[in-house]
Structure 1
Amino acid sequence: MKLQLAALAAGLTFILMSAGGASAAAVCGEGTGQAATGEPIIIGAITGKTGPDDFSNSTRAAKAYFDCLNANGGIHGRPVQYMVEDDQWNPEIAAQLVAKLVDDQKAVLMVGNSSFVECGANADFYKKAGITVVAGVGVPRECFFASAIAPTNAGPRVSMLGAMGYALDQLGAKSVVCIGPNIPNVGSWSCDGVMLLAKEKGFPASTILIDQGSADSTSVMLQAASSNPDVIVLGMSKGSAVPLLVAAEEQGLNEKIKFVSAASAYDLSVPETIGPGWDGKFYVNMEFNDLEATTPDNQNWLAVMDQYGQKSDPRDTFAQAGYLAARIAEKALMSIDPANITRETAGKAVADIKGFKSDIFCAPWYFGADQPRHNANSTTRMAVSEGGKWKVVSDCAPSPDPELADIRAFEKSAGINQ
């Protein structure tokens, strides 16, 4: 299944600026230019800002969009009060924070969440509390196997398998080493998918799990190279992936082995940081559109970040995810009588979303009402580092992750993305 950007852009139902650059005015909500002054709508989020890496880009982008929305009439006159908490990459803190946001602050939705630990800590809580989560960046397996959580991103496993599929089809891969973070239901879950695909294709594969922030990059690279793989696939955050690539180049491995990565390394700063030694040799999966795409919604995301975000806020794939999560929440809330926005009505409105279109997505996003799990974003692109920038090298293609069989079956039965 290949989906063309033009078809998606033409189907946008949201009024967006024309593709003329991020300097044009950001468009949010009803575009009234009048600040919302009614009773605030409480929306919460949990992110991992302090810890091994700053993982708060999704919530920063969601906040920028909600600020833009509030400056343009809000939700039928009611502003969104967006409350973000930092779980510090600690499951116990994540559990304490969700109780604060949901029980004490009475949030009606959770939107833009981005954390390595909070889905595992809070999935059961969300279900019992009857609150729906439109996550920005789902990371551990629990983010994609919970009835109340629906991420906008593809997730590390689906993204990594998208990269591995490209390596098989385009790079002639016949052996692979998968490197992932030693975090429960993150690294092992993602690399297990690579191992399963390798088994199906009949080629050797192995896994290395490392502690982010404390692993010796040179030792890890030498260990990975010891089996002479055709491809090394990375599932690390940008802050951990770059040192691994630097160590690999120091050992000359960039001349012998192809390196591919999940979308976590897709950041505009990476190609220049790793340098020309990686030109045409480091490929990343893109869970969303090209960060610099001139398509309408992608340009609106950049305009929102420029006008309502901070200059220091990254313009990366995780920021795209948070922007999309906020837009989905907006669409759901706009469909409700503003005097009757509750946790129940907001959750139902999100569950009813079946075809949310944006040129940032490869395929329309849907919640999947009454489904036990959610992974609507499973069709992705690839890019390669070239001349200090990313060069898109593939059209949208479905991830070959065998674990998506139930998602594909549901989509077929519901007539979604066929």
Structure 2
Amino acid sequence: MKKSSGPRRGRPALALALISSLLLVAAACGSGGGTSGSTSGSSSANASKCGLGNGQKATGAPLTLGAIVTKQPGTDFTGITGMTQAYFSCVNDNGGINGRPIKYIVETEQTDPQQVAALATKLIDDDKVLAIVGSTSLIDCAVNHTLYEQRGFNVIVAGVPFACFSTPNIAAVNMGPYYSSEGAAQYLVSLGVKTMVVAGANVPGGDHDISGVTAIAQANHIPSKGAFLENVPISDAAGIAVKLTQAAGDGGGVVLNFTPPEGLKILQAAEQQGLIDKVKWAWSTPGNDASVVQALGPAWNGKLGVNAELNLVDSTGPDNALYQKITKQYAPTIPLGSFGQMGFVAADIITHTLLGLPDSQLTAQGVNAAIRQIKNFKTDILCKPWYFGDLQQHVPNNADRTVVPQNHVFVQKQGCFDIAPLQGNNLDTIRQTEKSQGLNGT
């Protein structure tokens, strides 16, 4: 059973029964029985379920939550908020939050700071959201973290810029491109690469997102041969593939940090030009996506290490099994992948927090106070229990895996490992606080 020291509601295991697959999905959303650090071979006797799991539509007064998400050419994170919405739809079909449905307002943005600031104010002041959950934006954290601090909002995101991981009122279910790219570089170090090169999207904060790769290379006395920012959508994937492999040289390593469609362009171009075996390849977490591995041919088997901040998308723990079922029933157009898992985990956390609160605390003040108290939230999708806690910087997801393609599916290459502490990445301090406050059982 999932456990958290924040407000929670007890969750009986589902009895085994012969029911249709539709009813199985409808009765299955929002509660888990996994343990931290599970792999694709893990399982549990406790099934996960949506909310109350009673198969009855919620009809009471809605509880309103909100999110801000980037959607623009070359960068589209709406699969994350789409999965959060799908989870809430399943909850609403299963009794809601003690009879009250969740209303989810998602605002899309195009990296305009004034627009993003206005959207946060709208959600808080006009829409009267109780909490902000599942936001995934290139600039929201940087633009709005001061507002969230001033208004007492503890925001659960899928983080992108470093401000999502270095401010007191925002905690992410993922570790973001900076830490994930660092993890991808750690994988290349383990392969003994002679040099290292990194390329990422030319978006706000993109230079910092890939800076950890250079730092990992330097810490391991590996020559860094370049850090490149590429405009997205990518229009010359072949040219980029040649540039990166030439810069790295034979026996070098290349780290990619792009969304699934853009990174896939580079890999397919590399295959077309016979460049796969010229270097060792790695990709940050967005590459852990079914659309990617299904598109890669057998030539890539075992030759691309993807840093997976979340479990294998076909892992069999109860939470990930529920994620797969909800996707099939409520969001069939969203590919199975890390982005969808991020949206699922964010929704799972807030749902269980809301279910544990009395009606008198279902206010913005009450809900955000409860979010701050979340710790030891276990799910088989993450390597370690998740927490919010009282910290100046938040990186609760700071250990992950490496997966590699094998005949159109990803398989685990490296089990859960810690992202390396570096100067300026706060991980030493964060892990010390985890232990002193008992935030994740470490």
Q: Scaled by the length of structure 2, what TM-score is found?
A: 0.86
- Counterpart mapping for 1:53-68 below 5 A: 53-68=75-90
Shift of the alpha carbon at 1:231? 0.7
Shift of the alpha carbon at 1:11? 6.5
| Counterpart in the other structure of 1:361 | 382
| Counterpart in the other structure of 2:411 | 391
Alignment partner of 1:209 is 2:229: yes
Moved more, 63-72 or 115-124: 115-124
Shift of the alpha carbon at 1:16? 5.9
Instruction: Work out which of the residue numbers 145, 154, 163 in structure 2 matches 1:132.
Output: 154
**Partners of 1:156 and 1:218 in 2: CA distance:** 23
Asked if the contact 1:17/1:300 (under 8 Å) is kept, the reply is no
| Counterpart in the other structure of 2:40 | none
Shift of the alpha carbon at 1:22? 7.7
Equivalent position amino acid for 1:184 in 2: P
Percent identical residues: 34
Gaps of 5+ in 2: 5-9, 29-48
**Partners of 1:249 and 1:306 in 2: CA distance:** 31
Query: Secondary structure of 1:382's match?
Result: strand
Shift of the alpha carbon at 1:347? 0.8
Alignment partner of 1:279 is 2:301: yes
**Partners of 1:33 and 1:65 in 2: CA distance:** 14
Moved more, 312-321 or 22-31: 22-31
Q: CA-to-partner distance for each residue in 1:272-331, whole Å, 9 max, x for gaps?
A: 313222122111011111101111111111122223x23212221111111111111112
Asked if the contact 2:187/2:305 (under 8 Å) is kept, the reply is no
| Counterpart in the other structure of 1:407 | 430
**Partners of 1:288 and 1:34 in 2: CA distance:** 31
Equivalent position amino acid for 1:275 in 2: G
Query: Secondary structure of 1:269's match?
Result: helix
| Counterpart in the other structure of 1:299 | 321
Alignment partner of 1:329 is 2:350: yes
| Counterpart in the other structure of 1:106 | 128
Asked if the contact 2:199/2:257 (under 8 Å) is kept, the reply is yes
**Partners of 1:33 and 1:213 in 2: CA distance:** 43
CA RMSD of aligned residues (A): 2.2
Q: Call closer, same or farther: CA 1:268–1:214 in 2, change over 3 Å.
A: closer
| Counterpart in the other structure of 1:96 | 118
Instruction: Work out which of the residue numbers 199, 204, 226 in structure 2 matches 1:184.
Output: 204
Q: Call closer, same or farther: CA 1:271–1:141 in 2, change over 3 Å.
A: same
Q: Call closer, same or farther: CA 1:165–1:79 in 2, change over 3 Å.
A: same
Asked if the contact 1:51/1:89 (under 8 Å) is kept, the reply is no
Equivalent position amino acid for 1:192 in 2: S
**Partners of 1:177 and 1:220 in 2: CA distance:** 12
**Partners of 1:351 and 1:267 in 2: CA distance:** 31
Alignment partner of 1:341 is 2:343: no
Q: Call closer, same or farther: CA 1:18–1:176 in 2, change over 3 Å.
A: farther
Q: CA-to-partner distance for each residue in 1:330-385, whole Å, 9 max, x for gaps?
A: 1222222123311111111011111100111111001022x112110111011111
**How many residue pairs get matched?**
405
| Counterpart in the other structure of 1:374 | 394
| Counterpart in the other structure of 1:4 | none
Query: Secondary structure of 1:226's match?
Result: helix
